[in-house]
Structure 1
Amino acid sequence: MIEIERFDPFNNRLCRNVRNALSENFKKVLEQKEMQPVRRAAGFFLNDPLPGCVRTYIDQRLAAYEQVLADVRNRQLDDPLDVAVAIWDRGLFFETHEYLEPYWMTADGDDKKLLQAIIRAAGAYVHLEQGNLTGAKRIAAKAMAVLEVYQDRLSPYLDPRLLLATLKSLDPMPPTFAGTAGPRNRPIRSIDDR
Structure 2
Amino acid sequence: MSGATVLQNGRPKAYRPLAAADRRRAYDAALKAYERDDFFEAHELLEPAWMGTDDPAERALHQGLIKLAAAFVHGVRGNPTGIAKNLAGARDRLAEAVGTPPDRASGFDLPALIAAIDERLTALEADPTDGSIDAPALPRSQPR
TM over 0.5: yes
1:125 and 2:84 correspond: no
Across the aligned residues of Structure 1 and Structure 2, the Cα RMSD in angstroms comes to 2.7
User: What is the CA deviation profile of residues 46-99 of structure 1, one whole-angstrom value per residue up to 9, with x for unaligned ones?
Assistant: xxxxxxxxxxxxxxxxxxxxxxxxxxxxxxxx6443332211110011000100
TM-score where L is the length of structure 1: 0.47
1:106 aligns to 2:65 (yes or no): no
1:154 pairs with 2:103 = yes
Partner of 2:36: 90
Q: Do the aligned partners of 1:97 and 1:122 also contact (CA within 8 Å) in 2?
A: yes
CA distance in 2, matches of 1:129, 1:154: 28
Alignment-mate amino acid for residue 53 of structure 2: A
User: Which runs of 5 or more residues in structure 1 are unaligned?
Assistant: 1-30, 32-77, 186-194
**What count of residue pairs does the alignment treat as equivalent?**
107
1:140 & 1:159 partners in 2: Cα distance? 17
Distance 1:115 1:143 in 2: 9
CA displacement at 1:183 relative to structure 2:
3.7
- Give the aligned residue type for 2:91: M
Q: Alpha-carbon deviations, 1:137-173, whole Å to 9, x = none? A: 1111111012123233435433323432332215732
Q: TM-score, normalised by structure 2?
A: 0.61
Q: Which amino acid aligns with 1:106?
A: G
Structure with a larger share of its residues in strand? 2
Of the candidates 175, 178, 189, which is equivalent to residue 136 of structure 2? 175
> SS in structure 1 opposite 2:135?
coil
Q: 2:137 aligns to what SS in structure 1?
A: coil
Alignment of 1:1-194 (within 5 A): 79-108=25-54, 109-152=56-99, 153-154=102-103, 156-168=106-118, 169-170=120-121, 172-177=133-138, 180-183=139-142
Cα distance in 2 for partners of 1:149, 1:113 equals: 6
Residues of 1 paired with 2:93 and 2:28: CA distance? 19
Misfit runs of 4+, over 3 Å: 152-156
Task: Letter of the 1:140 partner, please give it.
Answer: L
Task: Give 1 or 2: higher helix fraction.
Answer: 1
Cα distance in 1 between the residues matched to 2:42 and 2:103: 15
For residues 73 and 108 of structure 2, the distance between their equivalents in structure 1, rounded to whole angstroms, comes to 19
Q: 1:96 to 1:158 in 2, by over 3 A?
A: same
Q: Distance in 1 between matches of 2:72 and 2:60?
A: 19
